[in-house]
């Protein structure tokens, strides 16, 4: 339902899943994503946080919180979430890319350049990297001078 854009139905299914398995991080994160798509950002933040608390070793709620905070220009909170994601798996190219975007938005060019470079290196052997390599190259040309 979520992928079909039927967010009301998706919420119903996620809530039903939580009735069957309370505190299930996948369903909590799903509600967060659904709320974000419905532009209910307070709900998204609440459920991403609950998903992160339910499974502290799962990267995606952290990345989702970071993205939400970045969208809200809450850069310190976004950085904390992205750094937690990087700490959980330092070799995940997508987390490095997200952190680089934050640093670029914050005009922290040296850090952005470093993280973009790390993201590209980590994605070298990935058949389907989590970002467009050419986009990263263009961004690096802009921030790494």
Instruction: Delineate the domains of the chain, giving CATH numbers in brackets.
Output: 1-56 (1.25.40.10), 61-145 (1.25.40.10)
> Quick one: pLDDT at residue 141?
95
pLDDT tens across 1-29, in order? 999 999 999 999 999 999 999 999 999 99
Q: Residue 123: what are its φ and ψ, rounded to 5°?
A: -90, 0
DSSP designation for 50: H
Give CB contacts under 8 A, 24+ apart, made by 43-52. Answer: 44/68, 50/23, 51/25, 51/26, 52/25
> Quick one: pLDDT at residue 114?
98
> Quick one: pLDDT at residue 97?
97
Burial group, residue 134, by CB count within 10 angstroms (0-12, 13-18, 19+): exposed
pLDDT tens across 86-128, in order? 999 999 999 999 999 999 999 999 999 999 999 999 999 999 9
Percent of residues, the chain, with pLDDT higher than 90:
99
Count of C-beta atoms within a 10 Å radius of residue 63 = 25
* 143 closest CA partner among 120, 123, 122, 125: 120
Q: Taking the mean position of all CA atoms in its chain, how far away is CA 129?
A: 15
* Token representation of residue 84: 């937690």
* 112 closest CA partner among 145, 134, 67: 145
């Amino acid at each position: 339902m979520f992928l079909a854009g039927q967010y009301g139905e998706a919420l119903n299914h996620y809530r039903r899943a939580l009735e069957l398995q309370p505190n299930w991080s996948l369903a909590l994160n799903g509600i967060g994503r659904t709320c974000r798509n419905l532009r209910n950002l307070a709900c998204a933040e609440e459920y991403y946080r609950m998903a992160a608390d339910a499974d502290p070793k799962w990267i995606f709620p952290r990345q989702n919180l970071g993205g939400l905070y970045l969208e809200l220009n809450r850069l310190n909170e976004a950085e904390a979430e992205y750094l937690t994601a990087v700490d959980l798996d330092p070799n995940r190219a997508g987390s490095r890319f997200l952190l680089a975007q934050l640093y670029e938005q914050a005009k922290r060019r040296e850090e952005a350049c470093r993280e973009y470079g790390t993201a590209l290196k980590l994605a070298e052997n990935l058949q389907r990297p989590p970002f467009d390599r050419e986009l990263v190259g263009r961004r690096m040309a802009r921030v790494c001078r």
